[in-house]
Structures are given as structure tokens and as C-alpha cells.
Amino acid sequence: MDLSYHAYRDKLNDEYAEAFTIIESYRYTKRIDAKLAEEWLMELMDNMLTAQGAGKTVESIVGNDIDRFCKEFYNRYSGKDIVVGIVRKIYGISAIIFFYSLIDGLLADEGESFLFGGTNVMPYLCGLLVGFIMSELILVVFIPLLRKRKISYKSYNKLEIWSTTGFFVLAGMFSLIVSDRIELNVDRLVLIVLSGSYFIIYNIIQAVINYRRYGTFREPKIEHVTVRDNINANLETELVRTWIKQYKKKNMQLEKRGKELLSYKEFLDSISKRYDYRRQRNLTYLSTICGGLAGFIIIFGTSGYLTKEGLGKMFDSGMDIFLFVILLLAGCIVIALLLTKMIKPGCEVYANVSKICDEKDLTLEEYLGNEQKE
């Protein structure tokens, strides 16, 4: 699995990061396909990091007029790319429809056929509508504020995260409320066949395109060390730098209060709980499951309150509620599994760094200096 360009954002200094966020935000105004934007912005990220490392200013990459750079940078987005982008979006939608229909079939009323019953697609259409409104809101309100420099890029990133989270909650609530009043039933068999066929045909065409371009049915693997090795190599340096900053900040605060300063060993001991893998793993599972259940209660509770209906009317039977909760918990567990995979390298780095610093009586700066020499 390859990293997105987001993984390297923290390596940019403020000057480069601001320019990058402005260029990144510009893609939304052109509605650039996500996969293409990822590829182009990854190349830009590489060029920026290389220039930054060579001591060059951001102007060496983007020039004096960043708006002009954005226009030219995205000028290569052609009509053909727009069509390919739409085809990809439909692929994603068809996968969602396929699994949504299968799950709907599993939760079908007793006596209703798995294949020949009807699936209400209204929740899905409502979700699409809310998603469209939210993305237009970001385009019309947030991006012009960023490009006119009326908000900082950090504020823009926060706004984007909150509005995306809000979208998911609103989409869920809106879908439940509207779909309860208006049903649009489509035969499940039609949905499964159409979406499944699109899925298969898309993958066949993609395989043919890959074969003509690369000689293999899949895109060639990108040459690199394992992602894990690369994460650990960069993560160790970044984490130690972060701990040095936190250590200095902590001691500044203690000095102001007239208290005794911490040694490096004491500081590392004080943050040990954060990097106790078992503890963090259990907390991650607990918080993900609680978050999922809380989301379920908020969305269904609010929808029930607004429609004046209880869970009994939203679900046909207790078994449906049970199955739904099981699916929700399964989803939370999958998310928790992915999150725990992400926290493990950090815990390993902490264990390694604190052991070496303890054995060789090193400060964190000395540790970093030794590592960089190696």
C-alpha cells in the first residue's frame, strides 16, 4: 500500500506548506479527479521537498504568482480526464450499490425474496444530494477565503475536516428522515446485476489498458523499500524531534512555575503511557466501538425524534436491529484494526529510543545526532 502525499505534508516548512495547501485547494475549483490529483500533487510534493532540502525558497517551485502557477499546473486536465474521472466515480458508486443491495437482501422481510424483492434507493440518493451540497459549500465558501488569504491554511484544513465529518452525520440523518417518507424501490436483482456487471467490465477494461501500457494486467509495483520500513525510518526522526520540542516546552513551563526541571529519562517515563501498545490498542478498540454506537444513537435517535417514530418503526423486527448492530460493530472492529496497525510503529519507536537512551545515557538530541550520522 502506498502512502498518499498527505503523509509528507508535515515535512514541509510553513512557507512551502502554505503554498502547497493553496495549490491543493485549487483542484476542487476544477473538480479534478481524485486519483489524478493525488498523482500530480505527489510529484509536486517531491519537488517541493527536494527544493526545500536544497535550501531554495518556495518561489523556485511555484514562482511569484501562485494563482498563475495553479492555473498552469491544472491546465492539463482535459475532457478525456473528465470522462475517466466520471467512469471511476461510477465504479465506486456501483461497488457501494452492489454491497448495499446484498445487505438489504440479507435484512429483507420474512417471506421476501433475496433477489426479487425491492431495495429502497432513496437513502442512497439522499446521501448523494447532501454530499453534493457539502462539496459545493466547500468550493463556494471556504476555498475563496483561502485563496484571498482571509483564512490561514491551517484553519482551512480544520474547516475541511469538520465539514466532512458534519456531512457524514447530516447525510445519515437526512437519508433516514426522507427515506422513511418517500420510497423509491428498485428490484434488487436489477441493482445487483447492473452494479456487478459495471464492476466486472471496468476491471476488465482496466486490465487491458494496463497490459497495453505496462505489459502486465496490473500496474507495476512502485520500487521502494517496504512501506513499514519507510514509515519507521521517517517516523523515528519525526517522533524524536517532536519529543525534543515537547520536552523543552514542558521544562519552560516548569521553570516559570519555579519547579524542578525534568531530565530526559523522566520526560520519556512521563509519556510512556502514550506509547504502551496494549493500553493504546485497547483504548482504540473501546473508543472506536463507543464512537460507532454513539453515532448510531445520535443519527437514529435524532431522526426518530424528528419523525416522531421509534426504532420499532424504522426497523421491521428486533432481528433487523440486532443484525444492523452486528454489522456496525464489525465495521468498527475493522476500523479499529486499521488504527491499531498505525499506532504500532510509534510504540516500537518509543520502546527502541527509550531503551538506547537509557543504556547509553544519551539525550534525545544526542540520539538524533547519532542516528543521522549513521
Partner 1 sequence: MEDTQLMKGILEGCVLAIIEKGETYGYEILQALDGYGFHDLSEGTMYPVLTRLDKNGYISCRKAKSPLGPIRKYYSITDSGGKYLEAFKENYRRITECADAVLNAQI
Q: Which residues bind to partner 1, rule: CB under 8 A?
A: 2-3, 5, 7-8, 11, 40, 42-47, 49-51, 53, 60-63, 68-73, 75-76, 222-225, 230, 234
CB of 87 to partner 1, least distance (A): 17
Contact 291, 332 (CB under 8 A): yes
Evaluate the CA torsion angle 213, 214, 217, 223 in order and state its sign.
negative
* Rounded Cα–Cα distance for residues 8 and 78 (Å): 28
Q: Distance between the two ends of the chain, CA-based, in angstroms?
A: 28
**Which residue's CB is nearer to partner 1, number 120 or number 230?**
230
| Residue number, 40 or 264, with CB nearest to partner 1 | 40
Q: At its nearest, how many Å lie between partner 1 and the CB of residue 213?
A: 9
321 alpha-carbon distance from chain centroid: 29
Phi/psi at 118 (5° precision): -100, 145
H-run or E-run covering 196: helix 188-214
Residue 16's closest CA among 60, 72, 75? 60
Q: Residue 29 or residue 230: which is nearer to partner 1 going by CB? A: 230
Of 206 and 287, nearer to partner 1 (C-beta) is 206
Residue with smaller CB distance to partner 1, 308 or 372:
372
CB of 36 to partner 1, least distance (A): 10
Cα atoms in the 13 Å half-sphere on the side-chain side of 125: 11
Q: Smaller CB distance to partner 1: residue 2 or 269?
A: 2
Whose Cβ is closer to partner 1: residue 46's or residue 112's? 46
The angle at the Cα of 215, spanning 211 to 218, to the nearest 5 degrees, equals: 60
> Closest CB to partner 1 among 19 and 143?
19
For residue 337, CA distances in Å to 102, 331, 334, 342 come to 24, 10, 5, 9
Q: How far is the CB of 224 from partner 1 (least distance, A)?
A: 3
Query: For partner 1, which is the closer residue by CB, 63 or 318?
Result: 63
CB of 289 to partner 1, least distance (A): 33
Task: Give which of 39, 339, 7, 25 is closest to 154, Cα–Cα.
Answer: 25
3-state secondary structure of 118: strand
Question: How many CA atoms does the CB half-sphere of 358 hold within 13 Å?
Answer: 11
State in angstroms the smallest separation of the CB of 204 from partner 1: 23
Give a three-class secondary structure readout of 231-294. Answer: HHHHHHHHHHHHHHHHHHHHHHHHHHCCCCCCCHHHHHHHCHHHHCHHHHHHHHHHHHHHHHHH
Tally the residues of the chain. Answer: 374
Cβ proximity to partner 1: between 224 and 360 the closer is 224
Cβ 6 to partner 1 shortest distance, Å: 11
Provide, rounded to whole angstroms, the least separation between the CB of residue 40 and partner 1.
Answer: 7
Hunting for cell 547519532 — which residue is that? 370
